[in-house]
Amino acid sequence: MNATIESNPLLDRLPKHLKQFIKAQDYSDYTPINQAVWRYVMRKNVDYLSQVAHSSYLDGLKKTGIEIDNIPSMYGMNRILTEIGWAAVAVDGFIPPNAFMEFQAYNVLVIASDIRQLEHIEYTPAPDIIHEGAGHAPIIANPEYAEYLRRFGEIGCKAISSSKDYEMYEAIRLLSIVKEAEGTPQATIDAAEKAVEDLQNNMGELSEMAQIRNLHWWTVEYGLIGSVENPKIYGAGLLSSIGESAYCMTQEVKKIPYDISAAYQSFDITKLQPQLYVTPTFAYLNLVLEEFANKMALRTGGLSGIEKLINSAALGTIELSTGLQISGVFTNVIAHEGKPIYIQSTGKTALASREKELVGHGTLTHPEGFGSPIGKLEGINLAIEDMSPKDLSAYDILESKTVKLEFEGGITVEGEIVTGSRNLQGEIILIRFKNCTVTHGETVLFQPEWGVYDMAVGKKVVSAFSGPADVNSFDLITHMPSSTTIKAEHTAERDDLEVLYQQVRMIRTTKDTQAALQIIFESVQQNHSKDWLLSVEIAELLKDRNEPELLDKVVAHLEAQKIKRPEVAHLITGGLELIFENANA
């Protein structure tokens, strides 16, 4: 398959800054061993999860075009996902949390297209196609859950990060890569783990993004549904882990009724989870999400919202009561009696209304920042935005008039009005001055020689959120992850083993009953003594062929492997159980 990105209407509407993360899924990159790993995990999962997963899981596998025997093609999945209003894209490992959630807001499932090594068949901290494709995709077929996922993305991508959140993302991404990579020195893994641990211990107060990532983890990734006494699995991390999906059902894992307190429960991606949350229904997930959203600066605005943006040191947006949206990196706020009375951004800033940049108010007009008073005029109960033409005339707020506007808290704007801009409701949202001076007490905030002064109009800040109001206002293709996934190295021994896996795969696919499995098995014994999965696949074919003599030899070899390699004994046992229990069923 050519490594090209096949688009569709859902993907076409993605903004450019999200498209930068999409990579082509080169299906030819998947080796026969990769296919065998997929098949083993899927056969074990479907066998076990049919008993313990939410009923949507098995239905979803069919509806999303996911097969047990073959790693899914993104393009085949997309043709089927379109029927339920979703799409999928391939990416390289972890992407930034805001971007991940924004994809969800567009009904696009992000799938890390690499696949875990055989050595990490039970679990990998790195996102892979087993986790994303076999974990996330099936549950999306449930309409109620799909809407939760979309809504979560819509709200989550507006969550404000702290300056340390991106450091944590980079540290976790690097850790997941080095732990999954073949032959990584233990010292490198230890250093990456320590970096994550040090950050986890020094994050300070959890940001909105950290909190909503916790909610995402305990629902979308590691969620249980039903009753605490008899829960079912729906979280993708559990659905894609043959080890943890069984472990999570034991008494070792504490089951907690899901509520908003999960936002404050952090997690460690490198360890089995000691506790899990149980939601009674998918609908309840949305109730908790709305409860959390009501606490976000997105909905509360105010002084605290501006302070969150300043602390983030990242691009964000403040929305005023008139609907005017100011997007930039906010660096200062002047407060009076617990309310913001002046806000200041530094660097490129854009003004918008209803997520559309105002004509003439992009970053070219405001390249060095934007500052404006907020609130009411001193001694006047009527805010400027609520004034009628008669009121505006009475206070000389008219074109060509030189005025002195004194705001509550001591901000003064004095200059000649050039023009005003209104929103669709007819409210004034912006007033342009020339020869303008803006002061706060003795401090000069703007002076005439700096050019024209655009003053935002709004009696309060109603919203503050991460990112720009209009995504087209800024070049957001600026920060790509500093690490990339590491591919398995080719060796002569590995290449020879891949050939043997391919031969067995072809025998199964073509239903060839004459092919000499004994020769393949002998080659495994002689040249690849550590490999166990291919012998399990050979045993399965021999059972179907009814060749008991050679089957006994293969099983004896696997039993010996269990003694020599106790760390994979349970995996071998699991594979044999699938063969013999299913045959007896």
Residues 533-544 pLDDT 10s: 999 999 999 998
Question: Which among 135, 206, 217 is positioned nearest to 168, based on CA atoms?
Answer: 206
* Alpha-carbon distances, residue 264 vs 167, 207, 259, 357, 494 (angstroms): 19, 10, 11, 36, 45
- pTM score: 0.86
Secondary structure of residue 530 in the 3-state scheme = coil
Question: Which among 319, 306, 286, 305 is positioned nearest to 155, based on CA atoms?
Answer: 286
On whether the CB atoms of residues 74 and 11 are closer than 8 A, the answer is no
136 is in an annotated binding site: yes
Question: Which among 302, 361, 376, 297 is positioned nearest to 333, based on CA atoms?
Answer: 302
Q: Tokens standing for 185?
A: 């020195």
CB atoms within 10 A of CB 258: 22
Q: What is the pLDDT at residue 165?
A: 77
Q: What is the pLDDT at residue 223?
A: 97
pLDDT digits (tens, 9 = 90+) for 499-520: 999 999 999 998 887 778 999 9
Question: Which among 413, 416, 467, 418 is positioned nearest to 440, based on CA atoms?
Answer: 413
131 is in an annotated binding site: yes
Q: Quick one: what percent of the chain has pLDDT higher than 70?
A: 94
* Residue pointed to by tokens 């077929």: 141
* DSSP H helices in 53-93: 56-63, 74-81
Q: What is the pLDDT at residue 585?
A: 45
CB neighbour list of residue 372: distance below 8 Å, 6 or more residues apart: 326, 342, 343, 454, 455, 456
Q: What is the pLDDT at residue 95?
A: 81
221 is in an annotated binding site: yes
Secondary structure of residue 346 in the 3-state scheme = strand
Question: In which residue ranges of the chain is pLDDT below 70?
Answer: 1-5, 124-125, 176, 180, 201, 203, 477-490, 582-585
